[in-house]
Amino acid sequence: MPKANVFDMAGKQVGEIDLSEAIFGIEPNVSVMHDVVKNHLANCRQGTQSALTRAEVSGGGRKPWRQKGTGRARQGSTRSPQWTHGGIVFAPKPRSYRYTLNKKVRRLALKSALSAKAAEGKVLVVDGLGMDEIKTKTFQGFLNTLGSKKALVVTACPNVVKSARNIPGIVTTPATLINVYDILNANEFIVDKAALAQIEEVFA
């Protein structure tokens, strides 16, 4: 049975908690995690790159020189791809890079990522993760006590979210929106005890 240390808001360890075997105790599937991360990054692409083909570059309507007799290679336009200021061959155009993966694949990847973090001892549970006021310095002190510099913080507390938004390397998310990329990209998975129960309820 995988376990995780439980901390209070002072950063002091107050106990241990058993994690769900079905979510935090499976054998991580590296191939599936790779597929889901690749899908996430592809879906994040804007796809707005664009260049001009020879049909779209202005100019080049006149034949530069006559076809024969000059000793030079025949040319029909100064906007052909081999010319400076010419068009681009197979120019990229705006398009969507989005594609979907099966729900079972995404869920297996999420469980694999959480299990990998649990196996490394990087799942930190906080009993009552919350703040009475928006204070970046206070939350930074809490992270320093835990020794976290690059972490995914799972909480629904608005004050925590706003306190952490200016701290480099810290990403916050509610339990319903956790994703494989954020989990693997972070060094620690810091989760509120209530959010942990919600994760185990939804994904078990």
- Beta-carbon contacts of 133 under 8 Å, excluding residues fewer than 6 positions away, are 159
Residues of the chain with pLDDT under 50: none
CA 31 to chain centre: 17
The size of the chain, in residues, is 204
Q: Residue 52 in contact with residue 80, Cβ under 8 Å? A: no
Q: What pLDDT, on the 0 to 100 scale, is given for residue 131?
A: 87
Q: Residue 11 in contact with residue 139, Cβ under 8 Å? A: no
Tens digit of each residue's pLDDT (9 = 90 or more) over 26-37: 999 999 999 999
Is the model's pTM score more than 0.95? no
H-assigned helices in the chain: 21-24, 30-44, 103-119, 136-146, 158-164, 180-185, 193-203
3-class SS shares of the chain: helix, strand, coil, % to 5: 35, 15, 50
Q: What pLDDT, on the 0 to 100 scale, is given for residue 9?
A: 87
Q: What pLDDT, on the 0 to 100 scale, is given for residue 105?
A: 96
**In DSSP terms, which residues pair with 6 in a beta bridge?**
15, 125
